[in-house]
Structure 1
């Protein structure tokens, strides 16, 4: 009966009132806050607008904000972990969740890669390659004893991501929350490539690919259980990994030829991530 009363009341409302309400809604700009690590901030991608966080004006949050005519507060920062959502980073960058309030309409977050130490893992892999370039020395280093250290790190990061999502909902209770996954870094077929710019052993490509998939799968689960949506940026970037030639490569090598951080999206990669985010935002309202 309450719904019927509301419907009747709407029918009796003066036309001018309804028109004014519609006009007010149309004038409202979405208050969008972007959180996350370097895959959100886009280090070295032109144009850099924050030297401390290595944040680009062409990162995926900026592109999404432009396409939706949203008001963007971008606090994504290179090197961020889940701990930096609620506390300042070591360089004095404020806690990222401080950017949220009850007026926030949309939140995107890319986080978790630094919690599992993926950059350190890649550095270790590169160092081990020289000793066994045709084998899988990195996999042996991290998983040779039976327990896979990276799989364990992903599992330990899951509750941290869940806590971040709870914190977002608490500070921005009316916001639409979107977890943005990581793009495809390594060849999907696991074949790898031989290049001085990609110093990885032949047998480690498939293992590294699978570790990234485990990270993304964990993020998708936490989004689903944490009242958030998940954006799969992996699938639409397959075929544009760090082994592809310039022009086809959306993820740069260990020695980038296009302005971007090593093993990070270049401008085209960030644009692809933005398109994936836009697809979810549009498809689900």
Structure 2
């Protein structure tokens, strides 16, 4: 999604991504180490050659860290080939039932003293199968507004606003 961040071309980071949107809404200074293709493991190792581990961006002055579990962590690109339901429910098991659990992410965040922003509700009707103008997530086959299975500009605005609201709600 444009505009691209020239600071690290290997990470294909956007200056319009949700962390930038949230920082703008909050009036906060942002050090963005978002990196396309990174997984949670890349907090402590390089996501791409020449890219420092994301933990290296933290300092004693760091006030907030946003963390996204995305398609790379969930192995979303592998799932379509392994999560095929040939039988209708109740005989088969849906992919959703296989890979998610209700409230699992929110529970894990609370258990670790973290705040959690659930983007499912604001994404309803705006998924990758929605008409292109309505999408918050890019479809797997389109490069119209960013990279496949990544937030669109509209999605980044919605997710950034939701993160800012989570941080300002008491």
TM-score range (shorter-chain normalised) is 0.7 to 0.9
Q: Extract unaligned runs of 5+ from structure 2.
A: none
Structure 1 vs Structure 2 CA RMSD: 2.5
Superposed, 1:170-185 pairs within 5 Å as: none
Is the contact made by 2:71 and 2:149 (CA closer than 8 Å) also made in structure 1?
A: no
Aligned match for 2:108, one of 222, 226, 235 = 222
Structure number with higher relative contact order (C-alpha < 8 Å, ≥ 6 residues apart): 2
Question: Cα distance 1:281–1:94, how it changes in 2: closer, same or farther (>3 A)?
Answer: same
Runs of 4+ aligned structure 1 residues displaced above 6 Å come to none
Q: Whole-Å Cα distance in 2 between the matches of residues 213 and 276 of structure 1?
A: 21
Name the counterpart of 2:84: 138
SS of 2:65's partner is: strand
Moved more, 94-103 or 251-260: 251-260
**Superposition deviation, residue 57 in structure 1:** 0.5
Paired residues in the alignment total 164
Question: Cα distance 1:238–1:213, how it changes in 2: closer, same or farther (>3 A)?
Answer: farther
Q: Which is strand-richer, 1 or 2? A: 1
Q: Whole-Å Cα distance in 2 between the matches of residues 209 and 252 of structure 1?
A: 19
Superposed, 1:1-285 pairs within 5 Å as: 45-49=1-5, 50-111=8-69, 113-122=71-80, 124=81, 138-139=84-85, 207-210=94-97, 213-214=100-101, 217-256=103-142, 258-284=144-170
Q: Extract unaligned runs of 5+ from structure 1.
A: 1-44, 126-136, 145-203
Is the contact made by 1:46 and 1:58 (CA closer than 8 Å) also made in structure 2?
A: yes
**Superposition deviation, residue 212 in structure 1:** 5.9
Q: Which is helix-richer, 1 or 2? A: 1
Question: Cα distance 1:270–1:243, how it changes in 2: closer, same or farther (>3 A)?
Answer: same
